[in-house]
Amino acid sequence: MRKPVIAGNWKMYKTVEEGLALIEGLAPQVSANTKVEIIVCPAAPVLGAIAGAVSGSNIGLGAQNLYPKEEGPYTGESSGAMLKSVGCRYCIVGHSERREYFKENDAFVNEKARAVLAAGLVPIVCVGESLEEREGDRTFEVIGRQIDGALAGITADAVAGIILAYEPIWAIGTGKTATPEIAQEVHAFIRRRLAERYDAPTAEAVRIQYGGSVKPANIDILMSQPDIDGALVGGASLTADSFARLINFESP
């Protein structure tokens, strides 16, 4: 059984003060939930303060980005070891905003995923097609290429412990969610791809989150799909009540 994993990607929102207020509102609403692995991913300068606020709770800490070198003259960047030293257990890589605004390609996403693993952290590896790619019937081709690229050279043992996130770009921050059927279809495709690349037990072990306008109104139906193992959430993770409702989703 795959444990559901729900992560809040705060993006470039929330100062220390705002982040602490969010955790203060969230923690008591989710403290009894033992069914879901809970993660918050604040911006880098805010990680340390939030690490303190979530320590001893059932909320795990993740980073939104890292630079795939151990250390060195890379002004403005953070290594996996640095993220670990402030209390992170996870790190997002390959988010479509980084692919688009910072021109990160599959090879760089792969370097980052390996660096996250080398630091002893769990990568949350994002993939997703654009609207143009979906309308051009290229969804599976694009997702397949992104999966193969991101996971190149990563062993079955390591892959079994990672988290993948399917985030169709046309659904991110747009209010347009993929229907549960569309999401399930792509999640099942990803799992088949993992079975082909590795083996069936590895594919069965990997958790695949859906991301893109997840909100209280659609979480229950999304989570009822057999291959959807969680959610990567932007907007609806920024207020305590809505994020708590996602974490405490109801099974039909």
| Chain residues that interact with ligand PGA, rule: CB under 6 A | 9, 167, 172-173, 211-214, 232-236
CB of 15 to ligand PGA, least distance (A): 19
- Which residue is catalytic, options 95, 97, 104, 133? 95
| Lookup: tokens for 40 | 């918050």
| Lookup: tokens for 139 | 């969804």
Identify which of residues 222 and 232 has a Cβ nearer to ligand PGA in the complex.
232
> 104-123 as b/e, with b when 16 or more CB fall inside 10 Å?
bebebbbbbbbbbbebebbb
CB of 230 to ligand PGA, least distance (A): 12
Identify which of residues 54 and 232 has a Cβ nearer to ligand PGA in the complex.
232
Q: How many CA atoms lie within 13 A of 15 on its CB side?
A: 1
- Distance separating alpha carbons of residues 14 and 172, to the nearest angstrom: 19
- Distance separating alpha carbons of residues 218 and 215, to the nearest angstrom: 6
- Distance separating alpha carbons of residues 94 and 112, to the nearest angstrom: 8
3-state secondary structure of 163: strand
- Which residue is catalytic, options 37, 111, 167, 187? 167
Identify which of residues 202 and 209 has a Cβ nearer to ligand PGA in the complex.
209
Identify which of residues 64 and 110 has a Cβ nearer to ligand PGA in the complex.
64
Q: Residue 165: name the closest of 220, 206, 217 by CA.
A: 206
- Tokens 């991913």 sit at which residue? 41
Residue 231's beta-bridge partner residues?
6, 210
Count, in order, helices (H) and strands (E) of the chain.
12, 8
Q: Which residue, judged by CB position, is nearest to ligand PGA in the bound state?
A: 234
How would you classify residue 86: left for phi > 0, otherwise alpha for psi between -120 and 50, otherwise beta?
alpha
Identify which of residues 202 and 211 has a Cβ nearer to ligand PGA in the complex.
211
Is 167 known to be catalytic?
A: yes
The catalytic residues are 95, 167
